[in-house]
Chain A
């Protein structure tokens, strides 16, 4: 079997309230991120206390987790775009190193 070769990429995780999701999606579109995964209704604890997820009648107040894998150069752009959001609203973002087997899937 041919040995899988992994190319280094950056994975960006963003957790914001559902209300801010359109902003984040818009930002990613503008920095030409072509793919991401959204996990809605996540729960967790943070600076502003506990956030309950999975509310039946409210999708804007609960948190969403958005994951995307991008080139290193794009991380800076995403960070820059998110800064004004985090200045006013709660949310977090972190970046980690990942390896992907089909790099052309993640870059344009």
Chain B
């Protein structure tokens, strides 16, 4: 629609211009024909359009009133000559002057003093000039790009340089005798890096990084929400299903919650119906419009207060309910029993409604007989047993009617049974699957022994309102959803004694007093919330309290660090501590709730001895834990490189191209965004759906905050192992050999860094200083 309007207007303008200035109709053939007959005039017109009217021509044009002569006027020939003179005078001057100018520029860029320039020998000068001569003008951008990336690469190598001097550790898990205060598993996300650094700086904590779905892919159904939310990277197509259901002790409140939720839903539905109707909106605005004034003013001037009030009202009407996730898989017999008991209840209800109160006391055998009859594929004329007939007191037509209604109204059919069985059977994970997923993730990160008493599994999610780009701030490894369901599933599995028995046999002894705990890092406010606390043993109360306090402290430090990097919040006046970041999370005019993944530049796969707990990557590095000494076959590294790294590259490329061309690849300015039909955003009323990130994600209003660089991948592993993995996987071959990412290996065999360049492969990185 926008496009067609624009084309229509453009056509009208072209028509008008051609008629008035050239005296021809504005059609394509007419314009072509005119150009054929007036080539010089066309060139001169195009020259003027491009460079403007040269001031030297003005006296010549005085008789035309200072504007261009009419088409076909003999004055055009004279102007054409003038144009050629002008072009000649604009061309770069050859000879000595040009060379001197070049030297001047080069000297200025390199910061040379006049003495240094004077001391330049003839050969030195010709070398410099030769280099400048060879530099293709079209490659200038590439040189700048490489310079930017090389600067960042040096910065990275400087940060990890201490690794070269370290003695190879016997075991990656550090000292075997002292247990850390707590282990914390984080997502590889660049925003976890800050929190990891701060929590480790408090002492006693050991952190690990792995993809934020914690290696467990599933389809999730949140409580009272539609199913099918995929909690895995888009590279995977999960087959497991997990449901969020109220805990057993919430039975009463869950019932209340359910009824109120239904009511709210129908009210919202009614409201939308009225709003989208042809006539009712006029009345609706008159009647309800005023009520919008209070939230509007409140949200504008007191966003935090309004949020607190809204939370309070919501907790009164729809109280939060403790939930559990269906992680364990039911056996076929169990599933059958569940379906059976559900159908029995339906049949009793049906008898009560259809036949009357005398059926209250029918025996279970009769109900089962009815169920079997309803489920029978072939319709038989056989009647119920005499006992059942007596209990139900039905004649033949009544009996047939009852069975028919059971099938059609109460859905007691074979088909329905199969669907229910299928749903129950695909929910959850078998014991073997649980052990596989937990073993896999622990082995991959290198956390295999010396477990602390508390292991926090920390997913992450963001919090903002009025933000169509919210999922870009959530967990990429969870398909753009919040990461907490995966953390909760992980914890449920890892705390299962049967799973631990299997793991012990496979060489991962998790002590009996180790408890896994699920948490979520709110990346907008840097608060950490714990989940399923009712499962924490009483013996771990003190450990939990210490962890909670330390995470609070680390979160505050992280928030303060982040807040300094964000432009000041309007109205807060100060730039420190939580309130600033908190306001961003609830302000509906906030265009930049957090920087998100902007600034990402490095992807480091390695142990903490490489990244060092003291090194500050300023929230620019994806950190994936990996222990090359455990993974002798390279399978774990292969999984990391083909999974999380590929997703990391997508994120990097998305930021790179959005920064490179905000209009074509990015999302342009967020202020003009128009959310369209819940499928995407458009710019105002025109053009296409926007594909990339908005300018506010990448710029602070004046300058680019995200430097557009390709991801530099640093892997702690023998070069041969990396080579073998790259050559076996087309996706990695394409990414590394075509230089979509830059690769450096930290080879533990000789403790040196090597740069990957196809096809010569590895070149030693010498001299780490810039």
Closest to B731 in A: A61
Are A56 and B730 in contact, CB atoms less than 8 angstroms apart?
A: no
Are A57 and B644 in contact, CB atoms less than 8 angstroms apart?
A: yes
Contact flag A57-B215 (CB < 8 Å), given A50-B728, A51-B728, A52-B728: yes
Are A58 and B235 in contact, CB atoms less than 8 angstroms apart?
A: yes
0 or 1 for each of A1-33: is its CB under 8 Å from B? (1 = yes)? 000000000000000010000000000000000
Are A48 and B236 in contact, CB atoms less than 8 angstroms apart?
A: no
Partner of B440, one of A17, A50, A51, A56: A56
Chain A residues contacting B237 (CB-CB under 8 Å) are: 59
What separation, in Å, do the CA atoms of A106 and B236 have in the docked complex? 31
Contact flag A59-B236 (CB < 8 Å), given A49-B727, A49-B730, A52-B729: yes
The answer to the question of B233 belonging to the interface, with a C-beta cut-off of 8 Å to chain A, is yes
Are A57 and B642 in contact, CB atoms less than 8 angstroms apart?
A: yes
The answer to the question of B211 belonging to the interface, with a C-beta cut-off of 8 Å to chain A, is yes
Identify the interface centre among A48, A58, A59: most chain B CB within 10 Å of its CB.
A58
The answer to the question of B639 belonging to the interface, with a C-beta cut-off of 8 Å to chain A, is yes
Are A51 and B729 in contact, CB atoms less than 8 angstroms apart?
A: yes
The answer to the question of A92 belonging to the interface, with a C-beta cut-off of 8 Å to chain B, is no
| Complex interface residues of chain A between 26 and 63 (CB less than 8 A to chain B) | 48-52, 55-61
What separation, in Å, do the CA atoms of A21 and B233 have in the docked complex? 18
What separation, in Å, do the CA atoms of A51 and B640 have in the docked complex? 16
What separation, in Å, do the CA atoms of A57 and B641 have in the docked complex? 9
Are A57 and B730 in contact, CB atoms less than 8 angstroms apart?
A: no
- Residue tally, chain B, CB below 8 Å to A: 22
The answer to the question of B733 belonging to the interface, with a C-beta cut-off of 8 Å to chain A, is yes
Are B211 and A57 in contact, CB atoms less than 8 angstroms apart?
A: yes
Partner of B643, one of A48, A50, A56: A56
> Measured between C-beta atoms, what is the minimum distance from A8 to chain B in Å?
35
Are B642 and A61 in contact, CB atoms less than 8 angstroms apart?
A: yes
Contact flag A58-B646 (CB < 8 Å), given A49-B733, A52-B638: yes
Identify the interface centre among B638, B640, B646, B731: most chain A CB within 10 Å of its CB.
B731
Partner of A61, one of B211, B215, B235: B235
0 or 1 for each of B700-739: is its CB under 8 Å from A? (1 = yes)? 0000000000000000000000000101111101000000
> Measured between C-beta atoms, what is the minimum distance from B46 to chain A in Å?
40
Chain B residues contacting A50 (CB-CB under 8 Å) are: 727-728
Are B729 and A57 in contact, CB atoms less than 8 angstroms apart?
A: no
Are B638 and A55 in contact, CB atoms less than 8 angstroms apart?
A: yes
Are A51 and B730 in contact, CB atoms less than 8 angstroms apart?
A: yes
Chain A residues contacting B642 (CB-CB under 8 Å) are: 52, 55, 57-58, 61
What separation, in Å, do the CA atoms of A56 and B210 have in the docked complex? 14
Closest to B644 in A: A57
Chain A residues contacting B215 (CB-CB under 8 Å) are: 56-57
Are A61 and B639 in contact, CB atoms less than 8 angstroms apart?
A: no
Are B730 and A59 in contact, CB atoms less than 8 angstroms apart?
A: no
What separation, in Å, do the CA atoms of A59 and B642 have in the docked complex? 10
0 or 1 for each of B422-445: is its CB under 8 Å from A? (1 = yes)? 000000000000000000100000
What separation, in Å, do the CA atoms of A100 and B731 have in the docked complex? 38
Contact flag A61-B728 (CB < 8 Å), given A55-B639, A56-B440: no
Contact flag A60-B730 (CB < 8 Å), given A52-B638, A55-B639, A55-B643: no
> Measured between C-beta atoms, what is the minimum distance from A50 to chain B in Å?
5
| Complex interface residues of chain B between 724 and 762 (CB less than 8 A to chain A) | 725, 727-731, 733
What separation, in Å, do the CA atoms of A50 and B723 have in the docked complex? 13
Chain B residues contacting A52 (CB-CB under 8 Å) are: 638, 642, 725, 728-729
Chain A residues contacting B730 (CB-CB under 8 Å) are: 17, 48-49, 51, 61, 90
Closest to B235 in A: A58
Closest to B732 in A: A61
What separation, in Å, do the CA atoms of A51 and B730 have in the docked complex? 6
Chain A residues contacting B211 (CB-CB under 8 Å) are: 57
Chain A residues contacting B733 (CB-CB under 8 Å) are: 49
Contact flag A61-B236 (CB < 8 Å), given A55-B638, A56-B440: no
> Measured between C-beta atoms, what is the minimum distance from B189 to chain A in Å?
16
0 or 1 for each of B77-118: is its CB under 8 Å from A? (1 = yes)? 000000000000000000000000000000000000000000
Are A61 and B646 in contact, CB atoms less than 8 angstroms apart?
A: yes
| Complex interface residues of chain A between 57 and 105 (CB less than 8 A to chain B) | 57-61, 90
What separation, in Å, do the CA atoms of A57 and B476 have in the docked complex? 13
0 or 1 for each of B616-639: is its CB under 8 Å from A? (1 = yes)? 000000000000000000000011
What separation, in Å, do the CA atoms of A56 and B235 have in the docked complex? 10
What separation, in Å, do the CA atoms of A59 and B440 have in the docked complex? 17
Closest to A50 in B: B728
Partner of B233, one of A48, A51, A57: A57
Chain B residues contacting A48 (CB-CB under 8 Å) are: 730
| Complex interface residues of chain B between 231 and 263 (CB less than 8 A to chain A) | 233-237
What separation, in Å, do the CA atoms of A92 and B211 have in the docked complex? 33
Closest to B211 in A: A57
Are B643 and A58 in contact, CB atoms less than 8 angstroms apart?
A: yes
Closest to A43 in B: B728
Are A58 and B727 in contact, CB atoms less than 8 angstroms apart?
A: no
Chain A residues contacting B725 (CB-CB under 8 Å) are: 52
> Measured between C-beta atoms, what is the minimum distance from A81 to chain B in Å?
23
Contact flag A58-B236 (CB < 8 Å), given A49-B733, A52-B638: yes
> Measured between C-beta atoms, what is the minimum distance from B740 to chain A in Å?
14
Are B728 and A57 in contact, CB atoms less than 8 angstroms apart?
A: no
Closest to A60 in B: B235
Closest to B441 in A: A56
| Complex interface residues of chain B between 194 and 213 (CB less than 8 A to chain A) | 211
Closest to B217 in A: A57
> Measured between C-beta atoms, what is the minimum distance from A58 to chain B in Å?
4
Closest to B437 in A: A56
What separation, in Å, do the CA atoms of A30 and B640 have in the docked complex? 37
> Measured between C-beta atoms, what is the minimum distance from A34 to chain B in Å?
20
What separation, in Å, do the CA atoms of A90 and B733 have in the docked complex? 14
> Measured between C-beta atoms, what is the minimum distance from A29 to chain B in Å?
18
What separation, in Å, do the CA atoms of A48 and B638 have in the docked complex? 19
Chain B residues contacting A60 (CB-CB under 8 Å) are: 234-235
Chain B residues contacting A90 (CB-CB under 8 Å) are: 730
| Complex interface residues of chain B between 641 and 670 (CB less than 8 A to chain A) | 642-644, 646
> Measured between C-beta atoms, what is the minimum distance from A5 to chain B in Å?
31
> Measured between C-beta atoms, what is the minimum distance from B136 to chain A in Å?
31
Chain A residues contacting B640 (CB-CB under 8 Å) are: 57
Identify the interface centre among A49, A57, A58, A90: most chain B CB within 10 Å of its CB.
A57
What separation, in Å, do the CA atoms of A52 and B638 have in the docked complex? 10
What separation, in Å, do the CA atoms of A55 and B234 have in the docked complex? 14
Cβ contacts A to B, 15 pairs, < 8 Å: A51-B730, A52-B638, A55-B638, A56-B639, A57-B211, A57-B236, A57-B643, A58-B646, A59-B235, A59-B236, A60-B235, A61-B235, A61-B729, A61-B730, A90-B730
A interface residues (Cβ-Cβ under 8 A, vs B) = 17, 48-52, 55-61, 90
Top 8 A-B residue pairs of the complex, sorted by shortest distance between their CB atoms = A57-B643, A52-B728, A61-B731, A56-B639, A58-B642, A58-B235, A55-B642, A50-B728
Q: List 16 extra interface pairs beyond A56-B639, A57-B235, A90-B730, CB under 8 A.
A: A50-B727, A51-B728, A51-B729, A52-B638, A52-B725, A55-B639, A55-B642, A55-B643, A55-B729, A57-B236, A57-B639, A57-B640, A57-B644, A58-B235, A58-B642, A58-B731
B interface residues (Cβ-Cβ under 8 A, vs A) = 211, 215, 233-237, 440, 638-640, 642-644, 646, 725, 727-731, 733
